[in-house]
Structure 1
Amino acid sequence: MTTSAPVLAVVDPYGPGALIAPALREHGWSCIAVTTSDRPPGPMAHTWQPEDFDHHVGYTGDIAELGRRLAGLGAVGVVAGIETGSELTDALCARHFPEYANSPALSASRRDKALTQRVLARAGLASLRQVHTPVFSDVEQWLQDNALADAPWVIVKPARSAGTDAVRRVQPGDRLRTAFEAMAGRRNALGDVEHAVLVQECVQGTEYSVDTFSVDGVHEICGVTRYTKRSSGSVVGIYDSVEFVAPDDPACRELLPYARAVLDALGVRFGPMHAEIMLRPEGPVLIELNPRLAGGQMAFLSGLATGRSQLDRLVDFVRGRYRDASGYRLLQHVTSVFVTAHQSGVIRNPDSLSGLADLPTAVRSTVAVPPGGRVRMTSDVFSVLGRVVLADRDPERVELDRRRIKRIERDLRIDRVGAPTVGAPQNRNHR
């Protein structure tokens, strides 16, 4: 039965995709949740809000039947909520919603990190040297062929996961074999089994994200952020902070042309994309592309920093009110600071975290300590204790508060009492 309100379908509406339906409801739209599995991925389970949707359709593998059901419910478009929904979204849009479609031939390449790099290499763009294989002897041969056998580090990661899940920095040799064997056959954070393991060269530089929104192949830059990350042993990519940079920052002169070329090479025609790019002395290289809205509260952060987010642009497009791609400007300095646990155990001084929301430039804090103070060591974006958002027109005031937070984090007293089974509970603001 068709509803009288205009209708949008969201495939796997979890994580940042959970924000789409509430935003459209505010403008009188109805939304359909399309799910590709019986339950959301574990780290995203807290973001599943079925009450935000007027209909819920489970995908059973028959795309023609799914298309008929969506047409019967009056859907005028389909978007992906998180990565797991991107390929089904591409297939549906190619058949039924061309205004929302990206190149179907390159759908897997926008989802799979190994395929992404192969497409960039074929297009003559900077890319990472890599091998994606279920057989470790292939890795040994790749190391020899690329003169990496004596490299200090290589990166081992799942090709189809998210949120720095299981990304490891290891030395070639026995440790690499151990990391490879631990990942082969593993079910990643998004629920996919990693039958093959992705090993890539480890590149050095400053990491940025470039968030875009595309219409008819024209890519608007919605915001650029600079990442500060740290490594702990084999664990790489532990977020420390994310800082918005102005479009006239010198780094953008290299980042933005490269980011647009990456989107063109990967067949991006429509929608939000989140590109993570390492700026090396010799130039930028893509680390990975995420075919979805940027996560980690980025819609909220972008609103603070620039006045308009990817989500705002998506809502405007769906409602027929999308403005010309004018880019962004920095209205104030915004930094999101991650609070992490340096080891697993019990926090003995949890009260030290209670005043984070009261810092002079703090706008929001989602830092949460579980009952009893029991935490696991932070190893990825899913296991942080939370984040504190800082915003001010004066960058020095923001930096002062960032340092205060990091000092409090360093002074956390965590006693080893065995590893807990789960990390800190996620706040709904993480959607």
Structure 2
Amino acid sequence: MKKVYPLIIALITFSVLGILYIQLSWIKNARIVKSEEYLRDLEKTVLGVRSLCYNSFINAEGYNPEQLDEANKEYLLITKFTAQAISPEEMNMIIVRAMKNQGIKQPFEYCVTNLYNNPISASKGFESSMFAESVDIRLSPPMSPQTETFFLYVKEPQNYITRQMASMIIASIFFTIIIISAFALTIRTMLRQKNISEIKSDFINNMTHELKTPLATISLAVDALNNEKVIHDPEKIRYYGGMIKEENRRMHKQVETILQAAKLEKQEDLNLSVQSLDAHAAIDKVAKNLSLQIQEKSGELHLNLMAGKSFVDVDEMHFSNIIFNLLDNAIKYSKDAPVIHITTQVVNGMLSIKIKDNGIGMSRETASRAFEKFYRAHTGNLHNVKGFGLGLSYVKNMVEAMNGHIKLESALGKGTTFTILMPLSKHNND
């Protein structure tokens, strides 16, 4: 399965890049086609100008172009036609009409030259440099002794062709963005599913390990109770019975931890019994309960409960569990002898509880994910660290459920500091 994800990502990436290449090629080719179409429209325009000039000249001679037969029309044009007979205003109207017929609305300049390339009629803005960029056509009839050439210069603005294709380009960019977004979302979803799958596997492995040990102990204790030598020894029966009870309590706690995590998924299922509680007393009580564990590891726990106001509105059980989890983590993730400091003070109208340890610390990545459910950091050689990865997730959810905030600061090899901010109770003012 691990090889499938990279293959799928590579195939999708290749497909998206292929689509982008095709899109860019299509836009490039479409622009070329549009440019060629534009040049054809200009050629049709000058053909239209010549035709309209002929009709204008015939009208000026007193004939109707539609009623005059082709032979007489051709004779008249060959013998008498010249662009000089058409006024600049009339020529301007002819060009506008011819351009309009081809859908061209850009500003223009024009010039008509004779056999010697000397201008005989031109717009005011036409310059000699425009000849090279103009579209030209012989204005005189083929058999005419005169040779007059019409030059049309259209002032094409920068990116005119691109602007003509604006709707297609915008649509192409829009759908390309959708494709890329869908691709990114797909990759993100795949990686997230992969991560969830790994977390699920880790959770199952951790849960199996956590439940296997007490079950094995209970099994051994039950076998011992069936031993003939133990049946008649009340002291050993109490010993093994106490062992079974302790391991059963341990399994019950683990199951409750998992069930509690499930309840935290839905805030409405939390039945918090919020009341005014002396945080200092609750912290001191939890510290005493864990003092034996700290002593077994030759550690130290320093309480610096200096806050002038210590009453907070919290659920007593969950608040104690929060402190217990953070202290338990500080003990579990210590190098050798844990040194833990708990400090309290009032900050911006809230009670700040700071728990600092000298443990193995966390990397930046681990610290950013520490509060994620089921996430467990790699602990190197600390194989004795057990759990489901639910402790800090529970802590964060419960702190926020009681309108508090929590943050952590950590560095590898330098320990970790958790800071909890809880709202002060009105009881402090009594």
TM-score bucket of the superposed structures, by smaller chain: under 0.3
TM-score (norm: length of structure 1): 0.23
Normalised by the size of structure 2, how large is the TM-score? 0.23
Larger radius of gyration: 2
More strand per residue: 1
Which of the pair has the greater relative contact order for Cα pairs under 8 Å at 6+ separation? Answer: 1
